Amino acid sequence: MRDGRPRGRVIWAPVAAAALSGLVIGGLARLLMRGIALAVGGLTGMSLAGTVAILVAFVVLALPAAVTAAARPAIMHAGRWVTVALTGLVAARTGLGDAKIIVLADDDQLTPITMLIVAFAAIVVAHGRLAQHLTRRFRALPHAPAEALRTPDARPV
């Protein structure tokens, strides 16, 4: 690489950033989905399979933003908004799976539901931004020389 950083960092930084941002935002989304179910009086159980599927989906959806984090500004913004658009679509379809329940909700349920939907929108926008921020941070980590990684000799000098 021209900047002296190892080539592997170009690959692992976006992957690690997508994984971390996907786990964080996916976890928050899962909690918000349960909040909406609770607000409308639905089932509030969380299955392990459903949670894992949501987390994996959010990790994969973070990849466009993470991969374009170090690109020119136009490409970087496009990558971020691809992540936001795809995440928003998936979150809306999954989190608001039964829209009839929300439409038929009582007046006292509308405020918490509205707040949860706004929170969904906020984390969806944060998803792409977090993935790009983490990618840039991971790429900027200092390179550890091979000598620093070796175990020190236990013999006294």
pLDDT score of 118 more than 70: yes
* Sole residue written with tokens 């792409």: 128
Mean pLDDT within 145-150: 50
The pTM assigned to this predicted structure is: 0.77
The answer as to whether 47 is a domain residue is yes
pLDDT score of 62 more than 90: yes
The answer as to whether 142 is a domain residue is no
Residue 30's alpha-carbon distances to 18, 33, 61, 70, in angstroms, are 17, 5, 15, 29
* Sole residue written with tokens 């991969």: 67
The answer as to whether 94 is a domain residue is yes
The answer as to whether 153 is a domain residue is no
The answer as to whether 56 is a domain residue is yes
Asked if 61 and 25 touch (Cβ cutoff 8 Å), the reply is: no
In total, how many domains does the chain have? 1
Tokens (6 digits) for 4:
């002296």
**Per-residue confidence (pLDDT) for residue 1, from 0 to 100:** 47
Mean pLDDT within 102-122: 83
Residue scoring higher pLDDT (100 or 134)? 134
Please name which of 45, 8, 28 lies closest in space to residue 126, comparing C-alpha atoms: 28
The answer as to whether 87 is a domain residue is yes
In terms of average pLDDT, the best of 16-20, 36-40, 70-74 is 16-20
**Per-residue confidence (pLDDT) for residue 134, from 0 to 100:** 94
The answer as to whether 17 is a domain residue is yes
Mean pLDDT within 14-41: 88
* pLDDT band at residue 66 under the 50/70/90 scheme: very high
The answer as to whether 121 is a domain residue is yes
Using a 10 angstrom Cβ sphere, with 0-12 exposed, 13-18 middle and 19 or more buried, the burial of residue 60 is middle
**Per-residue confidence (pLDDT) for residue 148, from 0 to 100:** 47
Per the structure, the complete domain to which residue 87 belongs is given by: 7-137
**Per-residue confidence (pLDDT) for residue 154, from 0 to 100:** 53
Half-sphere exposure of residue 112, counting CA atoms within 13 Å on the CB side?
14
Tokens (6 digits) for 75:
């490409």
